[in-house]
Amino acid sequence: DTGVSQDPRHKITKRGQNVTFRCDPISEHNRLYWYRQTLGQGPEFLTYFQNEAQLEKSRLLSDRFSAERPKGSFSTLEIQRTEQGDSAMYLCASSLGAGQETQYFGPGTRLLVL
Partner 1 sequence: RKEVEQDPGPFNVPEGATVAFNCTYSNSASQSFFWYRQDCRKEPKLLMSVYSSGNEDGRFTAQLNRASQYISLLIRDSKLSDSATYLCAARGYNKLIFGAGTRLAVHP
Residue span binding partner 1 (CB under 8 A) among the ranges 12-20, 55-63, 67-75, 78-86: 55-63
28 binds partner 1 (CB under 8 A): no
Comparison of 80 and 105: residue with beta carbon closer to partner 1: 105
CB of 81 to partner 1, least distance (A): 26
Q: In the β-sheet with 75-79, what is the strand arrangement from edge to edge?
A: 5-7, 19-24, 75-79, 65-68
- Amino acid identity of residue 109, one-letter, is T
Instruction: Give 73: exposed, middle or buried? Use CB within 10 Å, 0-12, 13-18, 19+.
Output: middle
Provide, rounded to whole angstroms, the least separation between the CB of residue 102 and partner 1.
6
